[in-house]
Amino acid sequence: MRLLCTLSLFGLSACASAAHQTATPTPPPPPLQEHVPPTEAADTRALIALFGSLIRQEYAHTGTAKRDAHPKGQGCVKARFTVRTGLASQFRYGVFAKPQSYRAWIRLSNGSPIPGSDAVGDARGMAIKVIGVKGRKLVPGEKSAQDFVMINHPVFFSGNARDYLDLNRALASGTQDAFFKTHPRDAKIVADITSHATQDLLAETFYSMSPYTLGPRYMKFRTLPVRCPQTAALPTYSGPIPNDPNYLGVRMSRDLTETGACFQLQIQLQTDAATQPIEDSSVEWSPAQAPFVSVADIVIPKQSFDSAAQQTFCENLSFSPWNGSIDLRPAGGINRIRLAVYAASSQLRHKLNRAPSQEPTGTETFK
């Protein structure tokens, strides 16, 4: 998905986790909370056409078809994703079914479709591809990946497919000011996202924004930066944003050359259907009502990741909320349109670039 602004087209300890698990309220009663609006199919087709035209325009201009969202990669790195032992039964679905360690690739990026200076306000993305996860998949042909796609803000800026389409059309026609006047909540979320000063990507918290299933329950998730066991503290930078337009990549390279980075993946189970809706991804689920529980640990070891071969490999990877287990199904309208839009954009990009689309093994090495 593309993050738009008005000027450019778009730690918990183990003991605390255990306490949260035993205190998790009972799930909300039926009925099922997902409802498909009658215009959603047409809205989805319109979004596919719009994003396809943007990719083709970029290809015609530069000879390279870039991602329609998050084209500026700050780094694509190897990691280990380890599911914790002793999880309560309500968490043991999909990749979290049993304690196990997996290889993973993680891509961090800027959200704007027009790559620019890191000093400009923007969404920052984290996309994790966990490799070797067995079980029934959501997408035919997907072998063993479980993707987690996030940005560093807890909610999406459009609540549903129609608002998202209308926002894109407004930006394409230069009428975004009029759109935001009639959609003040969307305007506030966009302003909040684009006003956040990001000092270090490895110290950011990243959120799913939209809901997913976890077996019979609904959930959201996030990755929380934590101190690695061998380090004294999280990377910290203070003061004004640097003049270097690529400072986020520089700092990430410095961090991973000197130490490494660690995150906890945390799950937030829905506890109140009235205040934690499934069909509106612009509503934040209060952590006071639905506490986050740590279910997996992510370790990004010391490494160098700036070779041309590795960058090319990573740019040919495709990440999607729908790459994964049937037990972790993306839910709600924003996620439903992502299924078709992500797939169409990825297929077009790989076709124009004549680049293979393949699932990584996690054992890749680059010089």
Give the model confidence (pLDDT) of 97-129 as tens digits: 999 999 999 999 998 878 889 999 999 999 999
Confidence of residue 232 (pLDDT cuts 50, 70, 90): low
User: For the residues 213-218, what does the mean pLDDT come to?
Assistant: 95
Amino acid, single-letter form, for residue 349: R
DSSP-assigned states of every residue in 275-297 = TS-SS-TTSPPPTTTS-EEEEEE
**Residue 287 CB-half CA count within 13 A:** 10
In the chain, DSSP assigns E strands to 72-83, 101-110, 124-131, 145-151, 206-207, 212-214, 217-226, 261-269, 292-300
Residue 7, pLDDT score: 30
Separation CA 274–CA 290 (nearest Å): 13
Contact predicate 10/51, CB 8 Å: no
- Among candidates 332, 322, 342, which has minimal Cα distance to 137? 322
- Among candidates 218, 221, 223, 254, which has minimal Cα distance to 236? 254
Higher pLDDT, 96 or 235: 96
Lowest mean pLDDT among 58-62, 149-153, 290-294: 58-62
Q: Domains in the chain, please, with CATH? A: 14-25+36-228+244-353 (2.40.180.10)
Confidence of residue 20 (pLDDT cuts 50, 70, 90): very low
**Is pLDDT at 160 greater than 70 in this prediction?**
yes
**Is pLDDT at 163 greater than 50 in this prediction?**
yes
Q: How remote is the C-alpha of 20 from its chain's centroid?
A: 24
User: For the residues 314-333, what does the mean pLDDT come to?
Assistant: 92
Residue 4, pLDDT score: 37
Q: Token pair of 167, please?
A: 């926002």
Percent of the chain at pLDDT > 70 equals: 91
Residue 191, pLDDT score: 93
Residue 32, pLDDT score: 66
The three-state DSSP-derived secondary structure of 122-185 is CCEEEEEEEECCCCCECCCCCCCEEEEEEECCCCCCCCCHHHHHHHHHHHHHCCHHHHHHHCHH
Contact predicate 128/147, CB 8 Å: yes
CA angle 78, 80, 86 (to 5 degrees): 165
User: For the residues 247-272, what does the mean pLDDT come to?
Assistant: 94
Separation CA 179–CA 175 (nearest Å): 7
Contacts of 296 (CB under 8 A, 6+ apart): 81, 82, 83, 84, 95, 96, 264, 265
Q: Indicate yes or no: pTM above 0.85.
A: yes
Highest mean pLDDT among 41-45, 109-113, 207-211, 351-355: 207-211
What is the chain's mean pLDDT, rounded?
A: 86
**Is pLDDT at 341 greater than 90 in this prediction?**
no
